[in-house]
């Protein structure tokens, strides 16, 4: 018999599908179950599953709103399960948004570091940002610590955000994005700050890893810093870089500087210039982890601020790129390759072999992986066509000029960069999903990530007048949908 004065809450869990139109909803890229998604956060491997949190507005897909942390987990980086909202903007220090941050795993706990944003309308500055610690002991429920914020950073306000934390030896390190006033140029410039801690809660300023000289923008968002193949990579998303030729065509960029780092002095010595990491329209706010297999895996928000894509009216906005493994080549270039788990999604082989100019291969359910091998001494034109010509993509290689181009049509549809195959064949891998395309040229030295919105059946057409030596098109199985577990009280 149950005591009479006890309120009985029966928790019912059931699968529900949000009111999301499926036409552009990704088949194998993580997108929110409903609402708005931006930056990846708290990417981690906890109890043998990958966890990915993200900036989430559960109240609307039309605007970013006041950021929450959405949450999903996966065993293989593609079959994602949506989990309950991990954090709400419910404290004085984050009532203007639970902004971006990262995770470390220790003693079977998930330590989540993020930026608490507080808006102060009608004041100067109109917002303040603090660094905050929250902990999960089961990978689902998250508790913000009692003593928060852990870093106030008074002198670094107002833009002081996006902590990325890692451990080296017995010390914890945190890199943060910041903007500062430069007296020489009387302007605001971006930079990356380094903090250290011995206990994960008390943090001290350690160094400025690097800063803009005016050419690299007014604010550096979502910095990440890691060792890779014997060098160090400072990866960040600067705001305010001016377009220059084929470079920096998006509203904001993501790129990297390679250098050496001394853990004794905390000094970073760049050995390269800033290099843009992806050449498509939609690639921002990257985050990486070193997984248990020692892979440095990167994921980015495959969208861009101020785009207002049509999916918003379908009940969701934003998705993540496919996870990519990073390496550094001898020229200090970051190489990106799709994680090998993508192979487990392959279904039927639609086509494999030599294809004549004009050949057409129809895709199933807008989800495919395409491998192309062709002569490096010929032009290449591949069309990803939909029933609406303005929602198609033209991929091309111009042999004379040594250029690769992605043209998704419409205003500002062209993105391109210089590239020539570095082996005796031109290799291209393309990944099509319901509203995205990702291209990996060569060994992964050049990538393009862009959104496009195909209607009706999607077809691959060999354009131009040259045959393609070899093209293989695999169906990719659906691994994700907009359904999610809802907990309701009865």
Q: Could you give the residue numbers annotated as active site?
A: 39
Compare residues 161 and 461 and give the one whose CB is closer to ligand DQQ. 161
**CB of 258 vs ligand DQQ, minimal distance in Å:** 23
Residues 189-202 as b/e (b if ≥16 CB within 10 A, e otherwise) read bbbbbbbbbeebee
Compare residues 31 and 370 and give the one whose CB is closer to ligand DQQ. 31
- Please work out, in degrees rounded to the nearest 5, the angle formed at the alpha carbon of residue 239 by the alpha carbons of 203 and 69: 55
Q: Which residue in 487, 484, 485, 481 sits closest to 79, CA to CA?
A: 481
**CB of 426 vs ligand DQQ, minimal distance in Å:** 34
Q: Give the C-alpha separation, 94 to 142, whole Å.
A: 15
Q: Give the C-alpha separation, 347 to 313, whole Å.
A: 31
From residue 293, alpha-carbon distances to 40, 79, 180, 321 in Å are: 21, 19, 38, 20
Compare residues 253 and 479 and give the one whose CB is closer to ligand DQQ. 253
**CB of 220 vs ligand DQQ, minimal distance in Å:** 9
**CB of 319 vs ligand DQQ, minimal distance in Å:** 14
From residue 403, alpha-carbon distances to 9, 73, 186, 395, 408 in Å are: 63, 38, 38, 11, 16
Query: Do 190 and 179 touch, CB atoms closer than 8 A?
Result: yes
**CB of 162 vs ligand DQQ, minimal distance in Å:** 5
**CB of 345 vs ligand DQQ, minimal distance in Å:** 28
Q: Which residues bind ligand DQQ (CB under 6 A)?
A: 38-39, 55, 67, 99-100, 115, 161-162, 221-222, 285
Compare residues 162 and 475 and give the one whose CB is closer to ligand DQQ. 162
Q: Is 369 helix (H, G, I), strand (E, B) or coil?
A: strand
**CB of 303 vs ligand DQQ, minimal distance in Å:** 9
Compare residues 39 and 278 and give the one whose CB is closer to ligand DQQ. 39
Beta-sheet strands, E only, within 58-97: 68-74, 80-87
Looking from the CA of 270 toward its CB, the CA atoms found within 13 Å total 14
From residue 429, alpha-carbon distances to 224, 354, 373, 376, 463 in Å are: 27, 16, 9, 15, 17
Compare residues 114 and 232 and give the one whose CB is closer to ligand DQQ. 114
Helix (H) or strand (E) holding 187: strand 187-197
Compare residues 115 and 435 and give the one whose CB is closer to ligand DQQ. 115
Q: Which residue in 397, 443, 440, 449 sits closest to 418, CA to CA?
A: 397
Contacts of 134 (CB under 8 A, 6+ apart): 87, 111, 112, 114, 142, 143, 144, 145
**CB of 37 vs ligand DQQ, minimal distance in Å:** 10
Looking from the CA of 288 toward its CB, the CA atoms found within 13 Å total 26
Q: Which residue in 458, 437, 459, 461 sits closest to 447, CA to CA?
A: 437
Token pair, residue 224, equals 């990440």
Cα-Cα-Cα-Cα torsion 424, 425, 426, 432, nearest 10 degrees, comes to -140
Compare residues 140 and 251 and give the one whose CB is closer to ligand DQQ. 251
Q: Give the C-alpha separation, 432 to 459, whole Å.
A: 11
């Amino acid at each position: 018999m149950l005591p009479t004065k006890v309120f009985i809450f029966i928790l019912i869990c059931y699968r529900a599908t949000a009111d999301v139109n499926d036409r552009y909803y990704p088949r194998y890229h993580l997108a929110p179950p409903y609402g708005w998604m931006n930056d990846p956060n708290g990417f981690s491997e906890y109890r043998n599953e990958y966890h990915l949190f993200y900036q989430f507005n559960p109240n609307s897909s039309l605007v970013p709103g006041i950021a929450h942390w959405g949450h999903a987990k996966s065993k293989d980086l593609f079959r994602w399960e949506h989990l309950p909202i991990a954090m709400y903007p419910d404290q004085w220090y984050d009532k203007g948004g639970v902004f971006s941050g990262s995770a470390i795993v220790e003693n079977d706990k998930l330590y989540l570091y993020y930026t608490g944003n507080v808006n102060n309308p009608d004041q100067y500055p109109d917002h303040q940002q603090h660094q905050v610690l929250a902990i999960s002991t089961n990978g689902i429920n998250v508790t913000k610590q009692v003593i928060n914020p852990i870093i106030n950073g008074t002198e670094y306000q107002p833009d002081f955000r996006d902590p990325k934390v890692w451990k080296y030896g017995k010390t914890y390190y945190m890199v943060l994005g910041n903007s500062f006033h430069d007296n020489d140029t009387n302007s605001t410039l971006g930079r990356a700050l380094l903090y250290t801690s011995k206990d994960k809660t008390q943090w001290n300023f350690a160094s400025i890893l690097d800063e803009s000289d005016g050419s690299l923008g007014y604010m550096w968002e979502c910095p990440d810093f890691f060792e890779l193949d014997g060098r160090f990579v400072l990866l960040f998303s600067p705001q305010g870089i001016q377009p220059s030729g084929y470079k920096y065509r998006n509203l904001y960029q993501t790129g990297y500087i390679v250098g050496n780092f001394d853990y004794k002095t905390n000094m970073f010595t760049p050995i390269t210039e800033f290099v843009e990491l992806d050449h498509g329209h939609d690639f921002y706010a990257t985050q990486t982890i070193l997984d248990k297999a020692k892979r440095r895996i990167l994921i980015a928000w495959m969208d861009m601020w101020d785009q207002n894509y049509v999916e918003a009216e379908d009940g969701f906005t934003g998705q993540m790129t496919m996870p990519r493994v990073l390496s550094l080549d001898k020229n200090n270039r970051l190489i990106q390759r799709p994680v090998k788990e993508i192979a487990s999604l392959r279904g039927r082989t639609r086509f494999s072999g030599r294809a004549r100019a004009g050949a057409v291969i129809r895709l199933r359910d807008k989800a495919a992986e395409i491998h192309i091998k062709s002569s490096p001494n010929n032009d290449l034109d591949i069309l990803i066509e939909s029933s609406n010509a303005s929602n198609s993509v033209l991929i091309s290689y111009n042999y004379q000029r040594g250029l690769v181009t992605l043209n998704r049509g419409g205003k500002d549809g062209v993105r391109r960069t210089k590239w020539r195959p570095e082996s005796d064949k031109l290799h291209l891998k393309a990944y099509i999903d319901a509203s995205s395309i990702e291209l990996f040229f060569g060994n992964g030295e050049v990538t393009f990530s862009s959104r496009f919105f195909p209607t009706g059946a999607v077809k691959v057409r060999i354009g131009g007048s040259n045959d393609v030596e070899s093209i293989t098109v695999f169906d990719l199985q659906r691994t994700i949908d907009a359904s999610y577990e809802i907990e309701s009280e009865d």
